[in-house]
Chain A
Amino acid sequence: MSEDKKTLIIEGKEVEFTNEPNLLEVIRKAGMNVPTFCYRPDLTPFGACRMCVVEVIYPNGRTMINSSCTMPPEAGIKVLLNTERVRKIRKMVLELLLANHDRECTSCDKSGSCELQQYAEEYGIKDVKKYAQKEDWQEIDNSSDCLVRDNNKCILCGACVRACHEHQGLQVLGFANRGSATHVQPMAGKPLADTECINCGQCAAVCPTGALTIKSVVNDVWAEITNPNKKVVAQFAPSVRVALGEMFGLKPGVNTTNKINAALKKIGFDLVFDTNFSADLTIMEEAQEFVTRLTTGGTLPMFTSCCPGWVRFLELQHPDMLNHLSTCKSPQGMLGAVIREYVPQYYPEITKENLVSVSIMPCTAKKYEAKREQFKMEDGRQEIDYVMTTQELGRMIKSAGIDFNSLEDVPADSPFGQYTGAGTIFGVSGGVAEAAARTAYTLVTGQELQNVVINDMRGTHRVKTVELDLNGTKVKVKIVNTLAEAEKCMREIKEGKADYQLLEVMACPGGCINGGGQPLSFNDSNIKEQRAQGLYTDDEQGQYRKSHENPEIKELYDKHLEKPNSHKSHELLHTSYSDKRSGCYIGIAK
């Protein structure tokens, strides 16, 4: 039935539709568009902002104004997108929103990528003082290391509330009060840093205005770079390379690794390493840890530990499960430690004192991770000084006046710049498990895996279960993204219903490629797949596709670390976790 082709008419053009959930999707499929603040393809339609209203003419001649995001497509209707009536409604919506809005656009973090600003300009809103202006301004919540919440810029579209609920199952943000007093806030208006927020930044990724933004460290990093007494070392994560190009007009998924190296050098970074290298290192350690747990009766299923949102989730919501979590630091954490320990040995002009370590991540939660107690050095500094998101790097490149697309390719620096295909797919849900399987196979069987691509582990859908045959040893792997799914796994395990030995969790939908720090893409539902494809292509084209084949990894073990899970690697590359629930207000409910 639903496969039947039905048609409706949009702006005089006959358009076919099948199972599109709403009229807005049909309009977009037909190559047209209407403005919206609250509609986000990955979230439940909400119908809050009324910007997507269209005029619908039914076959019986009746005319209605309807929000296209909540209206199911109907055969035979005529849809008009830009009549005087709907334009008038949209203009009034914008005027009323702006009356209640902190219009300090020039100093707003979202300036240039703000949808409110964009539509106000497109609809020619000039008289914003027509309506009574809001008087009760609220304080900006600057408490979090990762996100800034400014309710004076909130338009109550509820996208953040839905993202927190539908992706992460957390509902840290909610609506409070009602009517004109309604606003979005955590429980009782608590500062975000004091809540159960895991810093994933998915709320900021869907916010149309400057109400939720990433806490930027760009100015601090510039200060270090321009300081002649400092040597600034950078690393950047797998997902950054396939998304940054979007900020410079490239298609999602275009691999810009060597252009990023070049841009960073041009900005003034002294050395550029690749987090893909330490993703390989993570696999060496994590695959070994997994095989050891598997063969010596350790705690199973083992959980991957690369995602700082997931780690914080576990520390807050399931501290009793922390022994399942791999003790491996994340790739960011590993390279942070390796840079501190070994860069001064390879580059004599760099010392422990003048080294500044900066990482560029697709992730807002990495900012929090870098500040963890466990990553504090003896001198009180953190192993990684600054964490920038992909967005922040894009802005930095623009402000440096660099023409990104015409940069000549530059390779990463050695000895921590080379990577394999296994390292690069870390950025997509399933990638860590696939990379681990390639190396674990060798560890268990002593042979090399021939078909390195494990298709069942690929795809950005939320849950995947794969059974691996390591030459007779059967291993079941579960791969989930979003913490709403991870929570279900925790219940399975507690109820004794889990039959898998390895659980890979990434908090963001689709994995790091869709992280909260990635370039904004409010309405492109295919962007995840395109970025993922970019990483899979990088994997395919690589000279090496297994972490243990990476020559620089071999060198690191030969010269310094001896072997995976050795005493030295435990010291440098592994970490510990702690119960954070008792220190949080939710701790009162055991």
Chain B
Amino acid sequence: MTGSTVSIDFKTIDEILESCNYSKQYLIAMLQKVQEVYKYLPEEAMTYIGEKVDGLSPATVYGVATFYAQFSLEPKGKYEIKVCDGTACHVRGSMPVLNAIREKLNLKDNKITTDDGLFSLEIVSCLGACGLAPVCVINEKVYPQMTSDAISIVLDTLLKEERGN
């Protein structure tokens, strides 16, 4: 996948492994903690875990990381946009919302993060808020009953804030 875009502090990863007792049964927890720090799973971090933890290898860690949708191998943006495409959201029009975001942020093909690193886009299966369908979540904040126009305004607001900073 992509090469490293951040420099890895192996001390941080050692602390994470320490907290998980260097035990392979906590691999998912380890990966979650690494992703919390770096916003994605850098390749070096996966290699490091595979080498340091007994019973794992870089390839097996990579296998777990690519199995679960929650893990990203590409750096995520400052704003992580999650678009729900569960059944309820889907029938109430999550796809037009998604397409509007892609167009607005110029995310072509399967690109998930904007070139400026500001936004990243992820489709999730169900956020458990079907009554608010279609739903988007941006950095933990829930945006209910989205339309392509509404999400456009949300993104404009965020962009304005960023430029103001």
Across the interface, A174 reaches (CB within 8 A) one of B10, B43, B52, B62, namely: B62
- Inter-chain contact A171/B57, CB cutoff 8 Å: yes
Q: Which residues of A contact B66 (CB under 8 A)?
A: 176-178
The proximity string for A residues 42-83 relative to B, scoring 1 for CB distances below 8 Å and 0 otherwise, is: 000000000000000000000000000000000000000000
Is there an interface contact between A585 and B47, defined as CB atoms closer than 8 Å? yes
**A187-B46, A188-B43, A588-B10 known; A174-B51 Cβ under 8 A:** no
Q: In the assembly, what is the distance between CA of A196 and CA of B50, in Å?
A: 12
CA distance A187 to B66 in the complex (A): 11
- Per-residue CB contact flags for chain A residues 148-175 toward chain B (1 = under 8 Å, else 0) read 0000000000000000000000111111
* B56 interface contact, C-beta 8 A: yes
| Beta-carbon contact of B10 and A173 below 8 Å | no
Known: A171-B56, A171-B57. A188 touches B51 (CB 8 A): no
The reply to whether B52 and A185 form a contact with Cβ atoms under 8 Å apart is: no
| B-side contacts of A35, CB under 8 Å | none
List residues of A whose CB falls within 8 A of some B CB: 170-178, 185-189, 196, 585-586, 588-589
Q: Whole-angstrom distance between the alpha carbons of A379 and B33 in the complex? A: 54
- Complex CA gap A188/B67 in Å reads 13
Picked from B10, B58, B67, the residue with its CB within 8 Å of the CB of A187 is: B58
Beyond A171-B57, A174-B60, A177-B67, whether A187 also contacts B50 by CB under 8 A is yes
B60 to chain A: which residues have CB within 8 Å? 171, 174
Name B3's closest neighbour in chain A (CB-CB): A188
Q: In the complex, are the beta carbons of A586 and B47 less than 8 A apart?
A: yes
B interface residues, how many (CB within 8 angstroms): 20
**A-chain residues with CB within 8 Å of residue B52 when the two chains form the complex:** 589
Minimum distance in angstroms from A584 CB to a CB of chain B:
10
B59 touches A586 (CB 8 A): no
User: Do B57 and A174 touch (CB < 8 A)?
Assistant: yes
Task: Enumerate B32-58 residues with CB–CB distance to A below 8 Å.
Answer: 43-44, 46-48, 50-52, 56-58
Count of chain A to chain B residue pairs whose CB atoms are closer than 8 Å in the complex: 58
B63 touches A175 (CB 8 A): yes
Choice from A177, A187, A589 contacting B59 with Cβ under 8 Å = A187
In chain B, what residue has the closest Cβ to A187? B58
B6 in the interface, Cβ–Cβ < 8 Å?
no
Q: Is the CB of B58 within 8 A of A585?
A: yes
Contact of B51 among A173, A185, A589 (CB under 8 A): A589
Docked CA distance A26–B48 (Å): 44
Of A171, A172, A175, A589, which one neighbours B48 at CB under 8 angstroms?
A: A589
* B46: chain A residues within 8 A (beta carbon): 187-188
Q: In angstroms, how far is the closest chain B Cβ from the Cβ of A557?
A: 45
| Chain A residue nearest in CB terms to B52 | A589
Closest 5 CB pairs of A and B: A174-B59, A171-B57, A589-B51, A187-B58, A174-B63
A586 to B10, CA, bound (A): 13
A315 to chain B: closest CB distance in Å?
Answer: 15
Chain A nearest Cβ from B76, distance in angstroms: 18
Q: Are B56 and A588 in contact (CB under 8 A)?
A: no
- For this complex, 7 residue pairs linking A to B, each with C-beta atoms less than 8 Å apart, are A176-B59, A185-B59, A187-B62, A188-B58, A585-B58, A588-B10, A589-B10
